[in-house]
Amino acid sequence: MDLSWLLGHARVSFHHSKETITLASKSGKTALSDICKAVTPPCKLNPLLFNGHLHTAWTAVKAAGPPIIYKRHIFESDDSRFAGTFSVDFVAHKQAPEEDPTLPPRTTYFTEDEFANIGSDDTKPMLITLHGLSGGSHEIYLRHVLEPLVDQSEQGDWEAIVVNSRGCAMSKITTGILYNARATWDLRQTVKWCRKMYPNRPLYAIGYSLGANILTNYLGEEGDACELQAAVLCSNPWKLEVACRALQRTWLGLNVYSKTMGSSMKKLFAQHAEQVVTMGNIDPERVAKCTYLHEFDREIQCATWGYPTAYAYYRDASSADSVTAIRIPTFAIHAEDDPIAVDEAVPYEEIEQNPYVVMCSTSTGGHLSWFEVGGTRWFSKPVCFCVCGVGEQNADPMIGSEFPPEDGT
């Protein structure tokens, strides 16, 4: 009998097509699946956290995390359909002399002069990050990934930014548009801006939870025209209707996870109610009576975007069907006991049909957790190693792929 789980050793599995794309470098060609497998270390987690609920709950008992410093800039949307502003936090190399109480810790605004000279011709790889539901650049799970990639001295190997969803991370909402699980427009504008301002930098992206769903939809929408070199998806809920119904099947799912997420979104709405109610037929009193996330989505997303039910919104915003349209190297990581991004919602068959996508699943780890002894998060290792590994291949000007037919088969 295999009792390795008693020591915190999780099973690691990989899911991909029989032949994934190959990436070329000076040392030769390497299959994407081989790169992902080579950079994924054994999954040795805290044995006291022996299931997904414990791992997920442990996120509430956390240390301060890596002290990443940011500079913020507010962008005006260039798409009139989604008018308003959104904030982007840039990893900075120097702590500001004074903190800004209107922003998250270690975050200050760019001065006009600083931002006017932000462009660069350097070739540093650049990581674009999307956080989870109601989160922001301050989240510990994303800072665990940024820390090993970004040396905050002037000689750092990577540059990085975090695109904050509208209203999140103490940003302001200037129109009635909050955000939803299909809100790819601000990411698209950010990628285009990065390509213009940093013409020589290879661009990468990573999304967490809801941010992973948004990123997957973006990758599918862009297809062959995608400006990113590669992407990573962490704890993607994939099929939102399936995940929502799974939460409602159990007491913990409904009264802990869905209720907690619903409360977070209600707080976010309360901060921006004056602006949000101008969009659609939104009743603040009905929103105040919401308890669970699906109730909040019914009152906000349906009224804002015209969906007849919350489940119609979930089906439209889900990213599972976008997987087959992805045309850049993509690495997904998932815990099979994730109580929020549930295993039954993972599009395994679609992933195994697309040679551009590789998924790593672990037998335990929870939602955005994977806690090791000492409090570090295991997932940051394969994520960082993967983007660096793919970047190493893509750094060669002779990069090439053995592209499959356009239908992805």
Pairing mode, strands 126-130 and 357-362: unpaired
- List 147's β-bridge partners, or say none: none
Closest to 291 in 3D by CA, of 241, 257, 317: 257
Query: Catalytic site residue 272?
Result: no
Q: What is the pLDDT of residue 156?
A: 62
Measured between its terminal Cα atoms, the distance across the chain in Å is 39
pLDDT higher than threshold 70 for residue 400: no
On whether the CB atoms of residues 143 and 177 are closer than 8 A, the answer is no
What is the average per-residue pLDDT within 346-365?
A: 98
Residue 286 to residue 280: CA distance in whole angstroms: 14
From 89, 186, 337, 338, active-site residue:
338
pLDDT on residue 389: 80
d(CA 244, CA 254): 9
What pLDDT shows up at residue 154?
Answer: 53
CA–centroid distance for 214 within its chain: 8
Contact between residue 304 and residue 277 where contact means Cβ atoms under 8 Å apart: no
Which of 15, 16, 53, 367 is flagged as catalytic? 367
Confidence category of residue 102, pLDDT binned at 50, 70, 90: very high
Task: Provide the mean pLDDT of the chain.
Answer: 91
Per-residue confidence (pLDDT) for residue 205, from 0 to 100: 98
Active-site residue (options: 209, 235, 258, 322): 209
Task: Identify the residue with better confidence: 96 or 196.
Answer: 196
- Catalytic residue at 367? yes
Domains, the chain, with CATH or none: 10-19+31-238+319-393 (3.40.50.1820), 240-317 (no CATH)
Instruction: State pLDDT tens for residues 337-353.
Output: 999 999 999 999 999 99
Q: Could you give the percent of the chain with pLDDT greater than 90? A: 81
Torsion of CA 246, 252, 254, 260, to 10 degrees: -120
The pLDDT, as a whole number, for residue 255 is 97
d(CA 329, CA 121): 24
Residue 209 designated active-site: yes
